[in-house]
Amino acid sequence: MQTGSAFSVKEPVVLHAQNVHKQFGETIILNGVSLEVHKGDLVSVIGPSGCGKSTFLRCLNFLEIPDRGRITAAGVTIDRQGGPWRRADEHMAHRLRTHVGMVFQSFNLFPHLTVLDNVLLAPRIVKRQTDTVKRDQAMALLEKVGLGRVAGRYPLSLSGGQQQRAAIARALAMNPDIMLYDEPTSALDPLVAEEVLNVMRQLDAEGMTQIVVTHDMRFARVASDTIVYMDGGHIIEAGPPDVMCVRPTDERTRRFLGALL
Ligand SMILES: Nc1ncnc2c1ncn2[C@@H]1O[C@H](COP(=O)(O)OP(=O)(O)OP(=O)(O)O)[C@@H](O)[C@H]1O
Ligand SMILES: [Mg+2]
Protein backbone atom coordinates (compact mmCIF):
# COMPACT_ATOMS: atom_id res chain seq x y z
CA MET A 1 0.00 0.00 0.00
CA GLN A 2 1.66 3.20 -1.11
CA THR A 3 0.90 5.93 1.39
CA GLY A 4 2.96 8.67 -0.15
CA SER A 5 4.30 9.73 3.22
CA ALA A 6 8.03 10.01 3.68
CA PHE A 7 7.54 9.15 7.35
CA SER A 8 5.24 6.14 7.00
CA VAL A 9 5.90 3.50 9.64
CA LYS A 10 6.42 -0.03 8.36
CA GLU A 11 3.56 -2.41 9.10
CA PRO A 12 4.38 -5.77 10.73
CA VAL A 13 5.72 -8.65 8.66
CA VAL A 14 2.81 -10.89 7.68
CA LEU A 15 4.67 -13.30 5.43
CA HIS A 16 8.22 -14.47 6.01
CA ALA A 17 9.96 -17.03 3.82
CA GLN A 18 13.42 -18.09 4.98
CA ASN A 19 15.94 -20.01 2.94
CA VAL A 20 13.43 -21.92 0.83
CA HIS A 21 14.91 -24.77 -1.23
CA LYS A 22 13.13 -26.81 -3.84
CA GLN A 23 14.37 -29.20 -6.46
CA PHE A 24 12.60 -31.33 -9.03
CA GLY A 25 14.61 -34.49 -9.57
CA GLU A 26 18.23 -33.39 -9.84
CA THR A 27 17.37 -29.84 -10.89
CA ILE A 28 17.58 -27.17 -8.21
CA ILE A 29 14.81 -24.64 -8.78
CA LEU A 30 14.89 -22.61 -5.55
CA ASN A 31 18.27 -22.32 -3.92
CA GLY A 32 17.65 -20.52 -0.65
CA VAL A 33 14.99 -17.92 -1.32
CA SER A 34 14.07 -15.53 1.50
CA LEU A 35 11.46 -12.80 1.49
CA GLU A 36 9.73 -10.60 4.05
CA VAL A 37 6.40 -9.02 3.18
CA HIS A 38 4.80 -6.37 5.36
CA LYS A 39 1.09 -6.14 5.97
CA GLY A 40 -0.65 -4.21 3.22
CA ASP A 41 2.27 -4.39 0.80
CA LEU A 42 1.90 -5.20 -2.86
CA VAL A 43 4.94 -7.15 -4.02
CA SER A 44 5.59 -7.95 -7.68
CA VAL A 45 7.85 -10.90 -8.47
CA ILE A 46 9.52 -10.71 -11.86
CA GLY A 47 12.21 -12.69 -13.64
CA PRO A 48 12.94 -14.77 -16.74
CA SER A 49 10.73 -17.68 -17.70
CA GLY A 50 11.61 -20.85 -15.83
CA CYS A 51 13.50 -19.09 -13.01
CA GLY A 52 11.15 -20.48 -10.36
CA LYS A 53 8.64 -17.67 -9.74
CA SER A 54 5.59 -19.93 -9.83
CA THR A 55 7.35 -22.61 -7.82
CA PHE A 56 8.22 -20.06 -5.13
CA LEU A 57 4.67 -18.70 -5.04
CA ARG A 58 3.27 -22.23 -4.78
CA CYS A 59 5.73 -23.00 -1.97
CA LEU A 60 4.37 -20.03 -0.02
CA ASN A 61 1.04 -21.80 0.49
CA PHE A 62 2.41 -25.34 0.28
CA LEU A 63 0.78 -26.27 -2.99
CA GLU A 64 4.38 -27.25 -3.62
CA ILE A 65 6.20 -28.64 -0.59
CA PRO A 66 9.61 -26.99 -0.11
CA ASP A 67 12.45 -29.43 0.55
CA ARG A 68 13.91 -27.07 3.13
CA GLY A 69 13.06 -23.68 4.55
CA ARG A 70 10.75 -21.98 6.96
CA ILE A 71 7.61 -20.14 6.01
CA THR A 72 5.44 -18.06 8.31
CA ALA A 73 2.18 -16.70 6.93
CA ALA A 74 -0.32 -14.86 9.11
CA GLY A 75 1.19 -16.37 12.25
CA VAL A 76 1.31 -19.99 11.04
CA THR A 77 4.85 -21.37 10.72
CA ILE A 78 5.99 -24.47 8.88
CA ASP A 79 9.64 -25.41 9.17
CA ARG A 80 10.96 -27.93 6.65
CA GLN A 81 14.27 -29.60 7.29
CA GLY A 82 14.24 -32.11 4.47
CA GLY A 83 12.35 -34.89 6.23
CA PRO A 84 9.21 -36.60 4.99
CA TRP A 85 5.98 -34.63 4.71
CA ARG A 86 3.84 -35.90 7.56
CA ARG A 87 0.17 -35.77 8.38
CA ALA A 88 0.81 -33.12 11.03
CA ASP A 89 2.62 -30.98 8.41
CA GLU A 90 -0.36 -31.28 6.07
CA HIS A 91 -2.59 -30.20 8.94
CA MET A 92 -0.47 -27.08 9.47
CA ALA A 93 -0.38 -26.42 5.72
CA HIS A 94 -4.14 -26.58 5.68
CA ARG A 95 -4.27 -24.04 8.51
CA LEU A 96 -1.83 -21.79 6.68
CA ARG A 97 -3.81 -22.00 3.43
CA THR A 98 -6.93 -20.69 5.16
CA HIS A 99 -5.04 -17.40 5.51
CA VAL A 100 -3.63 -17.32 2.00
CA GLY A 101 -5.80 -16.92 -1.11
CA MET A 102 -4.44 -17.92 -4.50
CA VAL A 103 -5.38 -16.80 -7.99
CA PHE A 104 -4.06 -18.58 -11.09
CA GLN A 105 -3.47 -17.52 -14.67
CA SER A 106 -6.16 -19.94 -15.88
CA PHE A 107 -8.83 -18.90 -13.32
CA ASN A 108 -9.61 -22.51 -12.23
CA LEU A 109 -13.29 -21.85 -11.52
CA PHE A 110 -15.66 -24.80 -11.20
CA PRO A 111 -17.37 -24.77 -14.63
CA HIS A 112 -20.50 -26.62 -13.46
CA LEU A 113 -21.26 -24.05 -10.76
CA THR A 114 -22.57 -20.51 -11.12
CA VAL A 115 -20.26 -17.66 -10.23
CA LEU A 116 -22.15 -17.22 -6.95
CA ASP A 117 -21.86 -20.92 -6.09
CA ASN A 118 -18.14 -20.81 -6.87
CA VAL A 119 -17.81 -18.08 -4.24
CA LEU A 120 -20.09 -19.85 -1.77
CA LEU A 121 -18.34 -23.19 -2.12
CA ALA A 122 -14.72 -22.12 -1.66
CA PRO A 123 -14.80 -21.63 2.13
CA ARG A 124 -16.73 -24.85 2.58
CA ILE A 125 -13.95 -26.77 0.86
CA VAL A 126 -10.97 -24.90 2.21
CA LYS A 127 -12.20 -24.15 5.72
CA ARG A 128 -14.37 -27.26 5.99
CA GLN A 129 -17.19 -25.18 7.40
CA THR A 130 -20.75 -25.27 6.27
CA ASP A 131 -21.73 -21.65 6.20
CA THR A 132 -18.62 -19.49 6.48
CA VAL A 133 -19.89 -17.16 3.81
CA LYS A 134 -23.54 -16.30 3.59
CA ARG A 135 -25.23 -15.56 0.33
CA ASP A 136 -25.34 -11.84 0.98
CA GLN A 137 -21.64 -11.78 1.85
CA ALA A 138 -20.83 -13.66 -1.35
CA MET A 139 -22.98 -11.22 -3.31
CA ALA A 140 -21.19 -8.31 -1.65
CA LEU A 141 -17.85 -9.76 -2.77
CA LEU A 142 -19.14 -10.14 -6.32
CA GLU A 143 -20.41 -6.55 -6.26
CA LYS A 144 -17.01 -5.45 -5.05
CA VAL A 145 -15.30 -6.98 -8.10
CA GLY A 146 -18.03 -5.65 -10.41
CA LEU A 147 -19.83 -8.95 -11.02
CA GLY A 148 -23.08 -8.49 -9.14
CA ARG A 149 -25.11 -8.69 -12.32
CA VAL A 150 -23.61 -11.96 -13.53
CA ALA A 151 -23.66 -13.87 -10.23
CA GLY A 152 -26.11 -16.43 -11.59
CA ARG A 153 -24.17 -17.17 -14.75
CA TYR A 154 -21.75 -20.02 -15.41
CA PRO A 155 -18.03 -19.19 -15.70
CA LEU A 156 -17.65 -20.22 -19.33
CA SER A 157 -20.30 -17.69 -20.40
CA LEU A 158 -18.14 -14.85 -19.03
CA SER A 159 -15.17 -12.99 -20.47
CA GLY A 160 -11.71 -13.92 -19.23
CA GLY A 161 -11.54 -10.73 -17.18
CA GLN A 162 -14.86 -11.49 -15.53
CA GLN A 163 -13.76 -15.05 -14.79
CA GLN A 164 -10.56 -13.80 -13.22
CA ARG A 165 -12.47 -11.30 -11.08
CA ALA A 166 -14.77 -14.15 -10.01
CA ALA A 167 -11.67 -16.15 -9.06
CA ILE A 168 -10.50 -13.21 -6.95
CA ALA A 169 -13.92 -12.98 -5.25
CA ARG A 170 -13.77 -16.71 -4.58
CA ALA A 171 -10.35 -16.37 -2.96
CA LEU A 172 -11.58 -13.40 -0.90
CA ALA A 173 -14.48 -15.46 0.41
CA MET A 174 -12.02 -17.25 2.70
CA ASN A 175 -11.27 -13.88 4.27
CA PRO A 176 -7.54 -14.30 3.66
CA ASP A 177 -4.76 -12.19 5.15
CA ILE A 178 -2.60 -12.59 2.04
CA MET A 179 -3.43 -12.97 -1.64
CA LEU A 180 -1.08 -14.67 -4.12
CA TYR A 181 -1.48 -14.24 -7.87
CA ASP A 182 0.39 -16.17 -10.54
CA GLU A 183 0.31 -14.11 -13.74
CA PRO A 184 -3.33 -13.14 -13.20
CA THR A 185 -3.60 -11.14 -16.42
CA SER A 186 -1.35 -12.90 -18.90
CA ALA A 187 -4.24 -14.81 -20.51
CA LEU A 188 -6.19 -11.56 -20.97
CA ASP A 189 -6.18 -8.79 -23.52
CA PRO A 190 -4.96 -5.44 -22.14
CA LEU A 191 -8.36 -3.77 -21.66
CA VAL A 192 -9.81 -6.71 -19.79
CA ALA A 193 -6.57 -7.13 -17.85
CA GLU A 194 -7.00 -3.57 -16.62
CA GLU A 195 -10.30 -4.52 -14.91
CA VAL A 196 -8.48 -7.23 -12.98
CA LEU A 197 -5.58 -4.95 -12.09
CA ASN A 198 -8.05 -2.34 -10.86
CA VAL A 199 -9.50 -4.88 -8.43
CA MET A 200 -5.99 -5.55 -7.15
CA ARG A 201 -5.36 -1.82 -6.77
CA GLN A 202 -8.62 -1.49 -4.85
CA LEU A 203 -7.63 -4.35 -2.53
CA ASP A 204 -4.26 -2.67 -2.06
CA ALA A 205 -5.98 0.58 -1.07
CA GLU A 206 -8.02 -1.40 1.48
CA GLY A 207 -4.82 -2.79 3.01
CA MET A 208 -4.71 -6.32 1.60
CA THR A 209 -1.26 -7.92 1.44
CA GLN A 210 -0.64 -9.13 -2.11
CA ILE A 211 2.16 -10.95 -3.94
CA VAL A 212 1.89 -11.12 -7.68
CA VAL A 213 4.08 -12.95 -10.16
CA THR A 214 3.82 -10.88 -13.30
CA HIS A 215 5.38 -10.01 -16.63
CA ASP A 216 3.38 -6.76 -16.65
CA MET A 217 6.13 -4.27 -15.83
CA ARG A 218 3.84 -1.29 -16.16
CA PHE A 219 1.60 -2.61 -13.38
CA ALA A 220 4.61 -3.72 -11.33
CA ARG A 221 6.12 -0.27 -11.63
CA VAL A 222 3.01 1.76 -10.92
CA ALA A 223 1.24 -0.36 -8.32
CA SER A 224 3.91 -2.21 -6.30
CA ASP A 225 5.57 -1.25 -3.08
CA THR A 226 8.37 -3.68 -3.85
CA ILE A 227 9.63 -5.40 -6.98
CA VAL A 228 11.49 -8.65 -6.46
CA TYR A 229 13.78 -9.89 -9.23
CA MET A 230 14.38 -13.66 -9.31
CA ASP A 231 16.91 -15.50 -11.44
CA GLY A 232 18.77 -18.79 -11.20
CA GLY A 233 16.96 -20.02 -8.08
CA HIS A 234 17.68 -16.87 -6.08
CA ILE A 235 16.21 -13.48 -5.34
CA ILE A 236 18.83 -11.33 -7.01
CA GLU A 237 17.54 -8.05 -5.64
CA ALA A 238 14.42 -6.37 -4.37
CA GLY A 239 13.42 -2.78 -3.85
CA PRO A 240 10.95 0.01 -4.55
CA PRO A 241 9.88 0.24 -8.22
CA ASP A 242 11.66 3.54 -8.80
CA VAL A 243 14.96 2.07 -7.67
CA MET A 244 14.51 -1.29 -9.40
CA CYS A 245 13.37 0.18 -12.72
CA VAL A 246 15.73 3.14 -12.84
CA ARG A 247 18.95 2.01 -11.21
CA PRO A 248 19.00 -1.67 -10.31
CA THR A 249 22.23 -2.79 -8.70
CA ASP A 250 22.76 -6.17 -10.28
CA GLU A 251 23.83 -6.65 -13.88
CA ARG A 252 21.26 -9.48 -14.38
CA THR A 253 18.41 -7.22 -13.26
CA ARG A 254 19.66 -4.46 -15.55
CA ARG A 255 19.79 -6.82 -18.52
CA PHE A 256 16.33 -8.27 -17.84
CA LEU A 257 14.69 -4.89 -17.36
CA GLY A 258 16.64 -3.38 -20.22
CA ALA A 259 15.10 -5.94 -22.54
CA LEU A 260 11.61 -5.32 -21.16
CA LEU A 261 11.30 -1.60 -20.60
N1 LIG B 1 6.20 -30.25 -11.01
C2 LIG B 1 7.36 -30.08 -11.66
N3 LIG B 1 8.15 -31.11 -11.98
C4 LIG B 1 9.33 -30.93 -12.61
N5 LIG B 1 9.80 -29.73 -12.98
C6 LIG B 1 9.05 -28.65 -12.70
C7 LIG B 1 7.79 -28.76 -12.04
N8 LIG B 1 7.28 -27.52 -11.88
C9 LIG B 1 8.18 -26.69 -12.44
N10 LIG B 1 9.23 -27.35 -12.92
C11 LIG B 1 10.41 -26.75 -13.56
O12 LIG B 1 10.94 -25.82 -12.65
C13 LIG B 1 11.45 -24.68 -13.34
C14 LIG B 1 10.81 -23.43 -12.78
O15 LIG B 1 9.45 -23.42 -13.12
P16 LIG B 1 8.45 -22.26 -12.73
O17 LIG B 1 7.15 -22.64 -13.29
O18 LIG B 1 8.53 -22.02 -11.27
O19 LIG B 1 9.09 -21.03 -13.50
P20 LIG B 1 8.52 -19.56 -13.72
O21 LIG B 1 9.58 -18.60 -13.30
O22 LIG B 1 7.19 -19.44 -13.09
O23 LIG B 1 8.39 -19.46 -15.33
P24 LIG B 1 7.29 -18.71 -16.23
O25 LIG B 1 7.65 -17.24 -16.22
O26 LIG B 1 7.50 -19.31 -17.60
O27 LIG B 1 5.95 -19.01 -15.67
C28 LIG B 1 11.16 -24.91 -14.81
O29 LIG B 1 12.33 -25.41 -15.41
C30 LIG B 1 10.07 -25.96 -14.80
O31 LIG B 1 10.13 -26.76 -15.95
MG1 LIG C 1 5.27 -19.23 -13.82
Q: What pLDDT does 152 receive?
A: 97
Helix (H) / strand (E) element for 71: namely strand 68-73
Q: Which residue of 20, 29, 252 sits with most ligand 1 atoms within 8 Å of its CB, as the best mutation to test the pocket?
A: 29
Residues in the 5 Å CB sphere of ion ligand 2: 54
Strands 68-73 and 13-24: antiparallel
- Which among 49, 76, 81 has a CA at the least distance from the CA of 65? 81
Q: What pLDDT does 102 receive?
A: 96
- Please check whether residue 214 is in contact with residue 183, taking contact to mean a CB–CB distance below 8 angstroms: yes
Q: What pLDDT does 87 receive?
A: 93
DSSP bridge partners of 20: 33
Task: Quote the ligand 2 centre to 10 CA distance (angstroms).
Answer: 29
- Please check whether residue 229 is in contact with residue 238, taking contact to mean a CB–CB distance below 8 angstroms: yes
pLDDT in tens, the chain (261 residues): 766 555 667 889 999 999 999 999 999 999 999 999 999 999 999 999 999 999 999 999 999 999 999 999 999 999 999 889 999 999 999 999 999 999 999 999 999 999 999 999 876 666 655 555 688 899 999 999 999 999 999 999 999 999 999 999 999 999 999 999 999 999 999 989 999 999 999 999 999 999 999 999 999 999 999 999 999 999 999 999 999 999 999 999 999 998 886
Q: Would the CB of 53 count as within 6 Å of ligand 1? A: yes
Q: Would the CB of 29 count as within 6 Å of ligand 1? A: yes
Q: Would the CB of 55 count as within 6 Å of ligand 1? A: yes
Task: Quote the ligand 2 centre to 103 CA distance (angstroms).
Answer: 12
Q: What pLDDT does 77 receive?
A: 97
Q: Would the CB of 54 count as within 6 Å of ligand 1? A: yes
Which residue's CA is the closest to the ligand 1 atom numbered 26?
49
